[in-house]
Structure 1
């Protein structure tokens, strides 16, 4: 099929350029290559397309009809090429983005709604989920995740970092070390935190008392004094009631990555979104 399309495209150039030599010059091919292609086309069609003399060429009736259809095909191909090329320069189409609840609400959604307000041809679709959805199966364009992915089928880039803190509320009754534990659904049934007392560090294993399916529900429960739980440090500016447990040893740094399934040339919307998320991440976590 590709071979036939190539012959048809060369035939269009011969007709429009007015001669084999001019067509060969435009296509940057030798005259013999174009001449051979034209002969092969007529041989396969079993019809004469052009009457050629040393001075001029004219289309046969069959050649004229064939040219009109080939020219239309060439025009459609050129339009398809140009339209696809525009995606490198102008973002357009649907952009489906998934992220954990905390990152979506505080970073991803505000960053992308702001940057794509300037690009009306982009339609945003946000999916908040603390679970790792299947990017390929769910037709996700961009995923924001905590920690690096092990998948070799996805392109990923580190865009920032944040730290979780064990938190309590001013309404909490009793010591944080002996308080009920509020966990998100992804956390294990038993959670260990380290505490510093004087010059020594000791570990305490908490048994989970309450659970919630996202960090904002955990934050609300901590605010009400129901117990202690882990909250990203960048969310603490949104509440005056919740603060880090002073004696708790800081938790490890979490790296944040953006992932996408485009292997060769990612749409420009992906690059714009990645840069916007990275900038917003730096802004939020530096406060």
Structure 2
């Protein structure tokens, strides 16, 4: 770092035409600038500048060294400008993870709408119903259902949804006739399921412990089994609304408690513009889609 600073001071002395003028532009004392040049020449064991009281000129070694200093300065300026530009126009790669349900119904449509006009940005989506390690997987953003344990990651609530207890419209009568109602569960649900439902009008609550018969590792498997009449199950309201022609609420007078949605990211300092834009877009879409 000391060498680079001395090289930049030397470059400024050459461009300014004198140590005095360079000191003014660098807002340093003349003696400090002069010491930098002396130390540089001593370390290199070469004379870079020929100086008199009225004039300075570069030696042949100084000319070549000055060219290298300018090249380094240009690279540094380019690196600075490119990173600053990323805060204005998203570019590079944005890697996002979310559960399958949130990914396909919320995240992908929200970010596709926002980032279509940014050709220098590459989106990478990872749909996964387990919580991936953001640092280990080099993930910029995670959208998760429920609050995560305390960690070094930054997280905040961005909205919520309500799971809807539903069944196939065409199969409700058949299910009612079976007696013990079969239940379709997702793998993330516990073995012993318990639902607390609230009356939409009186707020009276009831607890229902369903008979879990069928299970799937994705929301799409659950959708398919419910649609085929294998049982009842829960679907997020934004997915239930997508399948309004196929599904019907099992207990239309009751509803489950809202489920919070959180966003997590590993950035402790300045957040990249692409991450900021993604959070804003997902938040808007989540709250508008229902």
Normalised by the length of structure 2, the TM-score is 0.91
C-alpha offsets along residues 211-265 of structure 1, whole Å, 9 cap, x if unaligned?
A: 1122222122112211111111122222223222227752221111121112211
Q: Find the counterpart in structure 2 of residue 178 from structure 1.
A: 180
Q: CA deviation at 1:95?
A: 1.2
Residue 209 of structure 1 corresponds to 213
Alignment pair present for 1:164 and 2:139: no
- In 2 relative to 1, CA 140–196 (structure 1 residues): closer, same or farther, beyond 3 Å? closer
Corresponding residue of 1:110? 109
Matches within 5 A, 1:242-261: 242-246=247-251, 249-261=254-266
Give the drift of 1:71.
Answer: 1.6
2-side partners of 1:131 and 1:207: how far apart? 24
The answer to whether structure 1 residue 241 and structure 2 residue 252 are counterparts is: no
Q: For 2:185 and 2:10, how far apart are their aligned partners in 1?
A: 70
Q: CA 1:56–1:201 in structure 2 vs 1: closer, same or farther (change >3 Å)? A: closer
Distance 1:168 1:222 in 2: 6
1:269 paired with 2:274, answer yes
**1:166–1:248 CA contact under 8 A, matched in 2:** no
CA-based RMSD: 2.2
Contact 1:194 1:249 in 2 (8 A): no
Q: How does 1:193-208 map to 2 (within 5 A)?
A: 193-194=195-196, 202-208=206-212
Query: Where does the alignment leave 5 or more consecutive residues of structure 2 unmatched?
Result: none
The answer to whether the 8 A contact 1:194-1:248 is kept is no
Q: Per-residue CA shift, 1:106-150, capped at 9, x if unaligned?
A: 111011111100111111111111111111111111111111222
Structure 1 distance, partners of 2:89, 2:252, is 52
Query: Counterparts of 2:159 and 2:27 in 1: how far apart (Å)?
Result: 49
Q: What's the offset of the Cα at 1:91? A: 0.5
Match of 1:225 in 2: 229
Structure 1 position 204, deviation (Å): 3.4
User: Is the partner of 2:251 in helix, strand or coil?
Assistant: coil
Which region of structure 1 is more displaced relative to structure 2, 195-204 or 230-239? Answer: 195-204
Secondary structure in 2 aligned to 1:26?
helix
- What's the offset of the Cα at 1:199? 10
How big is the shift at 1:89? 0.8
Using the TM superposition, give the Cα deviation of residue 271 of structure 1 relative to its aligned residue in structure 2, in angstroms.
0.8
The range that moved more, 268-277 or 257-266, is 257-266
Kindly indicate whether the alpha-carbon contact (under 8 Å) linking 1:168 and 1:244 is maintained by their aligned counterparts in 2. yes
Once the two structures are TM-superposed, the CA of residue 158 in structure 1 deviates from its matched residue by 2.0
> 1:189 touches 1:207 (CA, 8 Å); kept in 2?
no
In 2, Cα distance between the equivalents of 1:181 and 1:106? Answer: 23
Using a 3 Å threshold, how does the CA distance of structure 1 residues 248 and 230 change in structure 2: closer, same or farther? farther
Residues 194 and 270 of structure 1: CA distance in aligned 2, closer, same or farther (over 3 Å): closer
Query: Which range moved further: 10-19 or 33-42?
Result: 33-42
Pick closer, same or farther for the CA change 1:145–1:194 going to 2, 3 Å: closer
Query: Which ranges of structure 1 fall in alignment gaps of 5 or more residues?
Result: none
Query: Counterpart of 2:32?
Result: 33
| More moved, 167-176 vs 3-12 | 167-176
